[in-house]
Amino acid sequence: MSKHIYFHLKKELKDHLFDYLLLFTAGIFFLILFNIFRGQRVIEFFVLISFAFFYIIWGVYHHIINETLHLKTVVEYVLIAFIIIFLLKIIILP
């Protein structure tokens, strides 16, 4: 079972190492900022929005580089980002 995941995950990460390192670094940066500004709700929310927008931009950039960009793909990234923004707003800025 894990053989398939391992193989494809390894291939995916190897083929797009820079892209995933970029996203991973942004994620770490998001958590660090979230921790630094913990309790400051407005800034926390701003940090979340920044990460969500970075994720959308990352998606567009990644698919442009790989020549797989389609409107459907962009919409998918936008939808996931905004679902998260709306849901976390309930917790962070009710």
Partner 1 sequence: MEKIKTFIHHLFIPHEENNFRAKSLHTDFLTVYLVIAFLMMILFKQGSNLHNVLGFATDISIDKLYQLTNEQRQKNNLPSLVLSPTLSLAAQKKAENMFAENYWSHYSPDGKTPWDFILGAGYKYEYAGENLAKNFLFSNGVVDAWMNSDTHRDNLLKKDYTEVGYAIVNGTLNGEQTTLVVQEFGKPMAGTFSPPSVQAEEVSAPQQILAQKTVQPKVNLLNFSFNLNVVFMVFLIIALALDFYFASKFNIIRIGGKNTAHLLFLIFVLIGLFMSTIGVII
**Binding of partner 1 at residue 70 (CB under 8 A)?**
yes
Among 17, 38, 64, 65, binds partner 1 (CB under 8 A): 38
Q: Is 44 exposed, middle or buried (0-12, 13-18, 19+ CB in 10 A)?
A: buried
String of b and e for 63-76 (b: at least 16 CB within 10 Å)?
Answer: beeeeeeeeeeeee
Among 14, 17, 35, 67, binds partner 1 (CB under 8 A): 35
**Is residue 69 helix, strand or coil?**
coil
Helix runs in the chain, H state only? 2-15, 17-36, 41-65, 71-92
**Binding of partner 1 at residue 5 (CB under 8 A)?**
yes
Among 46, 49, 50, 89, binds partner 1 (CB under 8 A): 89
Could you count the other beta carbons within 10 Å of the beta carbon of residue 59?
Answer: 20
In the complex, minimum distance from the CB of residue 34 to partner 1, in angstroms, rounded to a whole number: 5
Return residues touching partner 1 (CB under 8 A).
Answer: 1, 4-5, 7-9, 12-13, 20, 23-24, 27, 30-31, 34-35, 38-42, 44, 48, 51, 55, 58-59, 62-63, 68, 70, 72-73, 75-77, 79-84, 86-92, 94
